[in-house]
Structures are given as structure tokens and as C-alpha cells.
Structure 1
Amino acid sequence: MKKLMNLEPSRSLKGFLAIMPFILILMLYWTASNDRLAENPYDKLLPSFTQISDAVERMAFTEDKRSGKYLFWDDTSASLYRICIGIGISAALGLILGMLSGLLPLVRSGFSPLITIVSLIPPMAVLPILFISFGLGELAKVMLIIIGTAPVIIRDVQSHVRQLPSEILIKAQTLGASTWLVAIRVVLPQIMPRLISAMRLSLGTAWLFLIAAEAIAAQEGLGYRIFLVRRYMSMDVILPYVIWITTLAFAMDFSLRKLSELCFPWYHHQEAGK
């Protein structure tokens, strides 16, 4: 008889087990919402699915009378632009600075302490400084994402570079490779999968900082809309927005994972074999 820890579910059972928690949550919400609305039809804490559907229709598929825009998609576009720019710049900084500090002892000695200190600064603590320095425009919001995610990515890439077998680097140098050639031909292919992995791990943090920045100073964006309607306790709007943010974050994470598997299959074979 197999032990419980050795039982592997079939593909169909995996799918069933994956979807079951979501079904239970929806059933629990539906029951709680019906109970509250039965006691008070004007209760806003747990809106019915019909009320949520009406809110989605109003926000996503009906033009706003004042601006003439579809607010849901306008907010989505603004937030995606900010987070893609922020994560993209953080990834570029992580790749360049992480590789240099991991490969070159001189750079590491002078640069690592600074990155370590910066990574320990709570980004939300410097948010007022960013707004004072860069104003209330896009730059301050993007800078918050960069400050919150870039140091972590840099340290992760640097650590991975330092973990590369020294034999590989020595062989490359023995064959006449310069430092630049070693970095481009040996180190870079090895750390690219790790960079994508670090980006995936930073997505949750990036969304957190984005929502916080939009809540404080913005005229559009998913975080701005959530904090705008909270004063009216519009849970029928807040809940779809939260679900949509989660869906976008999942889609970005899924896309990065598939990109990594497509471009670097050898890395994922190694991970699966560990």
C-alpha cells in the first residue's frame, strides 16, 4: 500500500482539485451575500452577483458621461503601462548591475553594500520624497516600482552569477576569452532564466507599490479607482477590480513562465530533475 505522500493524482483529479477551492469560495460568498441581502436589501458589504455584473457593465461597457471613456479599460491601460515600464527598467538594471557586480570583484566591493542598504529601505517610506522630487506624474509612480523591485532583482542575479561553477569561467579564460566575451557568451545565457524568475517573484511587490502610488496621487488607474469608490462602499466595483488585478498579475506571471520555458528549456529540465 502506497503512503499518502507518494500518491500522485491523475490529470483529471488535478484539475478537479485545482478548481474545487474556487467553487467553494463562490458558494460561500453566494450564501453569505444572500443572507445579508435578505436582512437588508441595501447592504453594500457583500453585493449579489447581479449587482457585480451590473457594475462591470457600467464600468467596462458604458461610456462615462463626463469623460466619454470606458473607465475600466482606461484604468487598466494606465496601470499596465506603469507596471510594465517599472518592471522593464528594474529587469534591465538587474541584468546589467547584477551581472557586473557578480562577475567583477571591484564592482562588487564598491556596489554591493549600497544595493544591500537600498534594498532594506521600505519603498513606501520614500513615496513622499518621490512625489516631492518628481511631482505627481507618471515618473514618481514608476520610480516607486523601480525602487521596490530593482534592488531585489539585482541581488538575485548577482547571487546567481557568483554561484556559477568557477571551472566554466576559468576554461573560457584559458581559451582566450576576454572579460566582455565571458560575460556575453558564458554568463549571460546562464542568468537569463534566473532574471525572468526574479521578475516573476517581483510582480506581486510591483503591483503592491503601484496600487499604493495610484491610491495617493493619480487621476486614472486600477488602484486609483478602488480608493476612489471606497468612500461610497461600492463593493460591487471594488471586487471586480481586485479580481481583475489578480487576473492581470497571473497572466503576466504565466506569460513570463512560458517565455522562459520556450527560450531556455534546458534550465527547466535541470529544475525538474532536482
Structure 2
Amino acid sequence: MKRFINLTPPRGGRWMLGLAPFALLAMVYISLSNARLVDNPNDRLLPALGTMAESFYHLASAENVRTGDIILWTDTFASLERLLIGVGISALVGLIVGILTGGLPVLRAKLSPLVTVLSLIPPMAILPILFIAFGTGEASKIALIVIGVTPFLIRDLQGHALRLPDEQLIKAQTLGASSWQVLIRVLLPQLTPRLLNATRLALGTAWLFLIAAEAIAAQEGLGYRIFLVRRYLSMDIILPYVAWITLLAFLLDQLLAFTSRLAFPWYHAGEGEKP
């Protein structure tokens, strides 16, 4: 008898199994929404799917009377710009510091305690300090993402560097490589794909910091819009915006995964070999 742990779904059935939980959640929501709307047709807590679709289409197509902008795309571009700049800075700093602390014991002894302490500081706790230091403009929102994400990336890359076989470093030095060449030729190629994976894991945290910052001080952005309409109990806008943010996060995650597989196929060797 084949054990349950060894059972794997066929390739065609994986999509069906993956979509099943979403279909179940949709059915549960529709049932609850219909029940509330029967009792109160004006209920705003669980709007009908058609109502949410209509509101989302209006936000995605109609121009704002005051500014002439289309609200959904203005909010999306503003949030994505802040997110990509913040994550990009975090990735660059994380890669540089991670390589240096992972490859140079002297720097690791000096910087590791600082990085560890910084990673333990709740970024949301210092958000008022960022607003005081940088104002309520773009800099404070980007700084929050950088402060929240960078220490995680540094510690992850440093740990991965320390797990590399010592034989690689010894062989490189035996062949005459300098410290700089070991960092660039040995550590950098092996830590770059790890950086992409770590960034994928950090995306959810980056979105959290972005939405929080936009909710407190912003004039446009996905987080700003959600917290703006909450006072009116506009769940027909809030829920589609949450779904839109989730879709954007998923697409960014898949883009990083595709980039990693395309640029570093050796790093993903052996993945997906099981049927």
C-alpha cells in the first residue's frame, strides 16, 4: 500500500487542487453575503461580488473630478514606486553588507552585533521618529521599508555565506585569489540567487510597512485609499483593494522567482523533479 506521504498529484491536477481553497472561500463569502443582504439590502459589511466589481471598475476607469487622475492607477503607481525603491535599496545594502560580514571575520565581529540589534527594533515603533527626521514625504516611507527589511537580508546572506564549504575559500586562496577576489568571484555569485529568494520572503513585510506608512501620512497610495474610505464603511472598495494588493504582491514574487530561475538555473537544479 502506497503511503500518503508519497502520494503526489498529477501535473494537471495541481492547479485544480490549488484553486480549490479559493473556490471554497468564495462560496463561503457569497453565502454569508447573500444571507446579510436578504436581511438588509443596504448592508455594507459584506457587499455582493457584483457591487465590488462595479466599484473596482469605476476606480480603474473613471477620472477624478478634482484632479483628472484615475484613482486606482494613481494609487498603484505611487505605492509601487515607494515599494520598489525601498526594496531595491534594502537588497543592495543587504548584499554588500552580507558579503562583507559573511566573508570578513573582522567586519563580522564589528557589525554583526549592530545588525542583530537593529533587526530586533520594531520598525513601526520608530515611524514617528522617521516622520520627524524626514518629514511626511516619500523619504520617510522609503526609510521605513529599508529599516524594516535590510537587517533581515543582511542576516540571511551572512548566514548563507558562513554555510558555504570552507574548501571553496581555501581552494580560491591556494590559486592566488586575494580577499577581494574571493568576495567577488566566490561569494557574490552564490549569494546573489539567495538574495532574490530572501527578497521574496521580505516582500510581505515590505508591503506591511508601506501600507502602514501610507495610512498615517500620504495623499495617494493603496494604503492611503483603504484607510480613507474605512470611515464610510466602504467595504466594496476596501476588499477589492486588498485583493489588488495581494495580486500585485503575487506578481512581484513570481517575477523574482522567474528572474532567479532564468539567471541562476544551477541554483534551482533538482527542483520540481518529482512528478
TM over 0.5: yes
Match of 1:205 in 2: 205
Which amino acid letter does the alignment assign opposite residue 251 of structure 1?
A: L
Query: Shift of residue 271 of structure 1?
Result: 5.8
SS of 1:220's partner is: coil
Pairwise CA distance, 1:126 = 0.2
* Residue equivalent to 1:66: 66
Q: Which moved more, 1:12-21 or 1:81-90?
A: 12-21
Partner of 1:151: 151
Equivalent residue for 2:28?
A: 28
2:138 matched to which residue of 1?
138
Q: Deviations along 1:121-159, whole A, 9 cap, x unmatched?
A: 000000000000000000000000000000000010111
TM alignment of 1:47-66, pairs within 5 A: 47-66=47-66
Letter in 2 for 1:231: R
Instruction: Give 2:172's aligned residue.
Output: 172
**Equivalenced residues, count:** 274
The residue number in structure 1 matching 2:80 is 80
The match for 2:129 is 129
- CA 1:272–1:194: 2 relative to 1, 3 Å: farther
Please, what is the CA RMSD of the aligned residues?
1.3
Q: Deviations over 1:198-250 (max 9, x none)?
A: 10010000000000000000000000000000000000000110000000000
TM-score between both structures, scaled by the size of structure 2: 0.97
Instruction: State the identity as a percent.
Output: 59
- Measured in 1, the distance between the counterparts of 2:8 and 2:67 equals 54
Q: Any residues of structure 2 matched to 1:35-50 within 5 Å, and which?
A: 35-50=35-50
1:89 maps to 2:78 = no
| Residue in 1 that maps onto 2:266 | 266
SS at match of 2:269: helix
Aligned AA (1:20): A
1:4 aligns with 2:14: no
Letter in 2 for 1:67: T
23 and 188 in structure 1: CA distance in 2 versus 1, 3 angstrom threshold: same
Question: Using the alignment, how far apart are the partners of 2:253 and 2:270 within structure 1?
Answer: 20
Distance of 2:12 and 2:173 partners within structure 1: 51
- CA deviations over 1:171-201 (Å, ceiling 9, x no partner): 1111111111111111111111111111001
The structural deviation recorded for 1:106 is: 1.0
